């Protein structure tokens, strides 16, 4: 029987022959070096496409002692903020010639530790981490690995790392003052994870701003994970004699849950109650009325974090940085003056 020929993968030499250029020219194109004419670059790219050539990433990494891959660990990707952050990091990394390898911690410290350990094992060039509420073990692992790393969004007292965060406390204080200026005196902040440093900063800003105004109350509601239980929690608050006239959601997922309950009990924004949310999901502007938001500096966070990571790659012993960026308050139709006393009675259901 005739021997079966095994189809071999095209090599960089095949690309060079088809394009009629040297191996060095193909290498320069593959590595994004600028010293290649437009004509030769087009020839190389055409040969790569025609042959279906895929570079050997491992071999390239060994030659240049760099994978050109950055590990990114997020708590999740369904949340509007984290989805936007991931997209921003993808854009920044692509512009710098890097790939993003993303893992999710699901807010679980043990899972976070395993995921980050896997990224380190894959020899990424650096790490960008949005930490869990308790990331001590993950921090120790990264420090022991000596891999360049930047913590994003959530600062901690651990001075071994660079941090790029937003001013949650200041943003919440500004939003609270805007509600107070609109005449609201009964405010309710809804949160899901009170142990997170970002949530704690928001609570502080909320209470500090309200505490500066006589007669203002700033109450807190921790969302139960069960949707039905949470609906009961919020309905009880909305039916109380001193029910809140303004609600503040600590993220857009909570804002959706709040809107669902308001619809169930027959309350409208802003006629019956005002609503403002952290995060700026795309759907916030198309609601009727549009949702007032505290817009995170997502693109700037990704840009600065990537810059700091690259600095850390070049100078691993440099002093750690703490960069804090400001969010933007966008007041829209979901916030209005508080209803009059006669209109503040909840509707019967």
pLDDT at 66: 66
Distance CA 31, CA 60 (A): 9
Q: Tokens 């969004």 correspond to what residue?
A: 153
Q: Which CATH superfamily is domain 67-166+297-327 in?
A: Response regulator (3.40.50.2300)
Can you give the residue ranges of every domain in the chain?
12-55, 67-166+297-327, 168-295+331-343
Q: What is the pLDDT of residues 297-341, one digit of tens each?
A: 999 999 999 999 999 999 888 899 999 999 999 999 999 999 974
- What was the pLDDT predicted at 62? 44
Q: DSSP for 110-170?
A: HHHHHHHHHHHHTT-SEEEE---S--HHHHHHHHHHT--EEEES---S-TTSEEEEE-HHH
pLDDT of residue 1: 46
Amino acid 341: pLDDT: 47
Distance CA 107, CA 135 (A): 10
- The region of weakest confidence among 54-58, 110-114, 263-267 is 54-58
Mean pLDDT on 115-120: 94
- With a cut of 50, say whether residue 345 has pLDDT above it: no
Mean pLDDT value of segment 260-264 = 95
Q: What percent of the chain has pLDDT over 90?
A: 74
* Spatial distance between the Cα atoms of 188 and 224, rounded to a whole number of angstroms: 15
pLDDT per position as a tens digit, 119-170: 999 889 999 999 998 999 999 999 999 999 999 999 999 999 999 999 999 9
For the ranges 32-46, 74-88, 194-208, 220-234, which has the lowest average pLDDT?
32-46
Of residues 344 and 45, more confidently modeled: 45
- 12-55 is classed CATH 3.40.190.10: no
| Confidence class for position 60, pLDDT limits 50, 70, 90 | low
Examine domains 67-166+297-327 and 168-295+331-343 and report if their fold is the same: yes
pTM: 0.79
Answer yes or no: are the C-beta atoms of 223 and 255 closer than 8 Å: no
Which secondary structure element, helix H or strand E, spans residue 255, and what is its range? helix 252-265
pLDDT band at 238, cuts 50/70/90?
A: very high
Position with higher pLDDT, 34 vs 161: 161
Q: Write down the CATH superfamily of domain 168-295+331-343.
A: Response regulator (3.40.50.2300)
d(CA 87, CA 104): 15
- Average pLDDT, whole number, for the chain? 90
pLDDT band at 349 (very low <50, low <70, confident <90, very high): very low
pLDDT at 285: 94
């Amino acid at each position: 029987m005739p021997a079966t020929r095994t189809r071999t993968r095209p090599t960089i030499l095949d690309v060079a022959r088809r394009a009629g250029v040297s191996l060095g020219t193909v290498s320069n194109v593959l590595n994004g070096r600028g010293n290649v004419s437009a004509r030769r670059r087009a020839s190389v790219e055409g040969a790569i496409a025609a042959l279906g050539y895929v570079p050997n990433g491992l071999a390239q990494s060994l030659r240049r002692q760099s994978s050109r891959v950055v590990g990114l660990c997020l708590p999740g990707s369904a949340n509007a903020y984290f989805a936007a952050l991931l997209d921003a990091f993808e854009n920044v990394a692509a512009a710098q010639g890097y790939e993003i390898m993303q893992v999710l911690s699901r807010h679980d410290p043990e899972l976070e530790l395993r995921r980050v350990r896997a990224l380190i094992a894959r020899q990424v060039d650096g790490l960008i981490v949005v930490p869990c509420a308790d990331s001590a073990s993950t921090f120790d692992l990264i420090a022991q690995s000596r891999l360049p790393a930047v913590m994003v969004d959530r600062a901690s007292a651990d001075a071994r790392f660079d941090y790029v965060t937003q001013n949650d406390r200041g943003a919440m204080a500004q939003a609270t003052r805007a509600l107070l200026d609109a005449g609201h005196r009964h405010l309710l902040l809804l949160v899901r994870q009170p142990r997170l440093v970002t949530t704690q900063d928001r609570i502080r800003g909320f209470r500090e701003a309200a505490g500066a105004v006589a007669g203002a109350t700033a109450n807190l509601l921790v969302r139960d994970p069960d949707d039905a239980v949470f609906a009961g929690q919020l309905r009880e608050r909305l039916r109380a004699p001193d029910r809140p006239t303004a609600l503040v959601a600590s993220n857009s997922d909570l804002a959706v849950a709040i809107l669902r309950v308001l619809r169930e009990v027959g309350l409208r924004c802003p006629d019956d109650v005002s609503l403002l949310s952290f995060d700026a999901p795309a759907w916030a502007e198309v609601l009727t009325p549009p949702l007032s938001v505290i817009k995170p500096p997502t693109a700037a966070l990704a840009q600065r974090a990537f810059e700091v990571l690259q600095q850390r790659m070049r100078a691993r012993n440099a002093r750690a940085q703490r960069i804090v960026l400001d969010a933007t308050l966008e007041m829209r139709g979901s916030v209005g003056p508080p209803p009059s006393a006669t209109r503040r009675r909840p509707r019967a259901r």
